[in-house]
Amino acid sequence: MTAVMAPPVKPAPPPVKRVRRGGGIAPPWLFAAPALLVYALVMLYPSIVGAGSAFTDWSGVGEQRSFVGFDNFQELVHDDQALGALRNTLLLTLAIVVVQNGLGLLLALGVHTTIKSRMVLRVIFFAPVVVSPVMVSFLWKYVYNPAPDAGLNAALNAVGLGALRQDWLGDPSLAIWSVAFTVIWQCAGYSMVIFLAGLEGVPKELHESAMVDGAGTVARFRHITWPLLAPAVTINVMLSTVGGLTLFTQIIAMTNGGPGYATDTLSTVLYKQAFVFGKFGYSTAVALVLAIFVAAVSFLQIGYLRSRETTA
Amino acid sequence: MASEIIRPQVSRRRLLQLMGGVAVAGTLAGCGGGNSAGGSGGGPLKVIGAGSQEAGLRKALDEYKKQNSSFDFNLSFSPADQLQTALRAQLAAGNAPDMHAVYPGNGSAMSMVQLSKANLLTDLSDQAWTQKIPTGFKGAYQQDGKTFIFSPGTSVLGAIYNKKAFAKAGVEVPTTWSELLTVCETLKKKGIVPLALGAQTPWVTQLINYALVPGTVYAKQPDFDDKMAAGSATFAGSGWADAMNKYLELQKRGFFNDNPNGTTYEQATSMVGTGKAAMAVQVSAVLQAYRDAAPSPDDLGMFPLPATDTVADNWIPGGIVVGLAVSAKSKKADEARKFIEFCGQPDMINTWAEAVACVPLYSEGEAKVDPVLKPFLHYLSGNKAVPFMDQRWPNAEVQPTHFAVVQELLGGKTTVDGALKKMDEAYRKTA
């Protein structure tokens, strides 16, 4: 009988030890250092120094300032204008998140087909995104001209819908929705592109096998496309939420927060407090609260959406 | 070995040194920018003016350059709404221009009182022209007895009107509130918008109140501002309520263009210039813009807006126009001060005042005044002119609150009482 000899076990090579001479810094940090430095200089340092102003009564100019503790934060809690602005901010954010992403998804589904003009349509829908928000705002200000023979009102007249003419930016009840529409018009293409990238990642085989099983368009969207779009939904909802909560440019350019306080958001309030009212300390307190609020909302949102991705 | 190839060649100490070096370089670069903008030794004098002072300021600078060949300047302008944000950001960053626009008196974040209290303006008190400032206007130029701004004179506020539109409707310039309503009614019947109002532009919202309040408040209570400061008067309990009710009456009777809250200053200007609207309540400093919008500058005239039915009570608002100050941090302060001294000479004051349609601060001999301002002159000489109200308000919050509540009133979102209470709350806040 021949004894079968077990092959000699080859000892595993010892783990490679990263050698650092003289306490050097790992290369990833070296590569990241320039960007981190710029970030620290441009973002972190001014933010930390600025946050200190929230506890002072600094006017924004000159050297005079006194420490006032939490007075600015107490004032914020009782400030009707800031509370109204918070309400407007939340309304705008909700409208933008829901409608912009809904529209973006519809556009993405529309151009993710085999129609011949899909590439042209993608460019057309994305085009507003590359235009400066200030430019877009000024253009829409012309569109929203309240005169019956100008802009949107003239167009409504021309198609026999003259009864729907409005003072789009001058009516306190309507102005905020006019601004929201402009933002959605500009940014829906951005959501579309992210959804489109998500759609490109959905395997065709899944759709084909579902079709063999007799699944219709709606069923395939509900059970295949939508769950697999979860990462794109996370990104879109996150970006539009942060964008909505910090919306500033379009409001300043179109309504300056008016009529009255009808379109003021937390961003416009902190801007006005700093540069119009000369209350830089209070403005910084508003900014600090806004930053914490945005961070908290984003944190909660990303936690929920990530868990949804895992489930999907 | 691979691990050797990627072994870092830079020690922690060395990297931190490098980062420190870059940080210092960055900081120095930032400071360098500040110094150059703040008026370093070389380069032209940097000047930022308000849009409404362009015609006069440019003339003065050109004339001074003609007389001083070594003088050079870099001039830019900002519209009123952007001026205080842009300039305040520069002031806060320590890189303000050598000379810049400043509003007279108090009441705005870019006003003389607010900036001089922050030690950001150069004292001009030793210049000869400052001795000519009339006592009643000292509050507009001076803080704690020191003069901090130069302004060429007084702008008046009233109704700019299209003469052709008036002729078409067969109406004359009104002298009482009732006559004004009748004129508006007649114009409306002729299909002409009686009053153009571009209330989407915030600063325009205040003008009708400013035109009415001298009659409804100050003619009866010339010391109203002192009483407000002492806390013994309020907006809500004064003739301001009468003025705001009259403002609303003009709207309720359909005398404004449709949707004033959605109409801009520029659109309102065009309406009057082309005769689509007959009048707009405005400051004389913007007359040039209206003339530019009209086929002929002679189409336009101006008259004091009557606030009451008692002619003797119809005072006018007449305030010192936006001025010019020398930054306290300017390294060319001496050069800037020399230019201001040049502006303070009677000829130059007259030239500047004429260019921006205001009444000169002082003159030797007969002042050259834009003919359309003649209906206002006897109010000025007869002490029936009141400085623009914000110039005596104690903080920068009352004026923007006034803008907002007028828009809310026009939009039906508040009442006169509610609007004035908000203004009172803003007034009581600390400066």
Domains by residue range for chain A, with CATH: 86-157+166-285 (1.10.3720.10)
- Burial class (CB within 10 angstroms; exposed 0-12, middle 13-18, buried 19+) of A151: middle
The two most distant CA atoms of chain A are separated, in Å, by 107
Q: How many angstroms separate the CA of residue A272 from the nearest CA in chain B?
A: 9
CA nearest to A147 within chain B: B258
**pLDDT recorded at residue B34:** 35
Q: Is A255 on the interface with B (CB under 8 A)?
A: yes
Q: Considering chain A, what percentage of its residues have pLDDT values greater than 70? A: 91
Closest among B21, B105, B88, B1 to B48, alpha carbons compared: B88
Residue A275 has pLDDT above 90, yes or no: no
Interacting residues of A102 by C-beta distance below 8 A, sequence separation 6+: none
Asked if residue B408 lies in contact with residue A260, where contact means CB atoms within 8 angstroms, the answer is yes
Tell me whether residues A169 and B118 touch, CB distance under 8 A. no
Report how far apart the first and last C-alpha atoms of chain B are (Å, whole number). 70
Is the four-CA dihedral B397, B398, B399, B405 of positive or negative sign?
A: positive
CA nearest to B413 within chain A: A172
- Burial class (CB within 10 angstroms; exposed 0-12, middle 13-18, buried 19+) of A301: middle
Q: How many angstroms separate the CA of residue A150 from the nearest CA in chain B?
A: 12
Q: How many angstroms separate the CA of residue B268 from the nearest CA in chain A?
A: 11
- 10 Å Cβ neighbour count for B85? 18
Smallest Cβ–Cβ distance between B202 and the set A27, A147, A258 belongs to A258
Residue with the bigger pLDDT between B24 and A82: it is A82
- Bridge-based pairing state of the strands B146-147 and B142-143: antiparallel
Residues of A in contact with B117 (CB under 8 A): 62, 64
List residues bridging with B153 in a β-sheet. Answer: B360
How far apart CA B207 and CA B199 sit, in angstroms, is 10
Closest among B165, B156, B222, B193 to B372, alpha carbons compared: B156
CB-defined contacts A:B, below 8 A = 152
Test mutation, B10, B113, B115, B200, chain A, max A CBs within 10 A: B200
CA nearest to A34 within chain B: B19
Q: Is A52 on the interface with B (CB under 8 A)?
A: no
Mean pLDDT confidence for A212-232: 91
Interacting residues of B231 by C-beta distance below 8 A, sequence separation 6+: none
What is the CA angle B257-B262-B265, rounded to 5?
Answer: 75
- Burial class (CB within 10 angstroms; exposed 0-12, middle 13-18, buried 19+) of B261: buried
Tell me whether residues A62 and B6 touch, CB distance under 8 A. no
Residue A28: pLDDT band by 50, 70, 90 thresholds? confident
* Helices marked H in B239-332: 240-252, 265-274, 287-293
Asked if residue B290 lies in contact with residue B273, where contact means CB atoms within 8 angstroms, the answer is yes
**pLDDT recorded at residue B182:** 97
Q: How many helices (H) and strands (E) does chain B have?
A: 18, 13
Mean pLDDT confidence for A267-273: 92
Residues of A in contact with B114 (CB under 8 A): 59, 61, 278
Average pLDDT taken over every residue of chain A: 88
Residue B159 — φ and ψ, nearest 5°? -95, 120
Q: Which residues of chain B have pLDDT under 70?
A: 1-42, 81, 430-431
Residue B144 region by backbone torsions, left for phi larger than 0, else alpha for psi between -120 and 50, else beta: left
Per-residue pLDDT tens for A142-198? 999 998 888 999 999 999 998 999 999 999 999 999 999 999 999 999 999 999 999
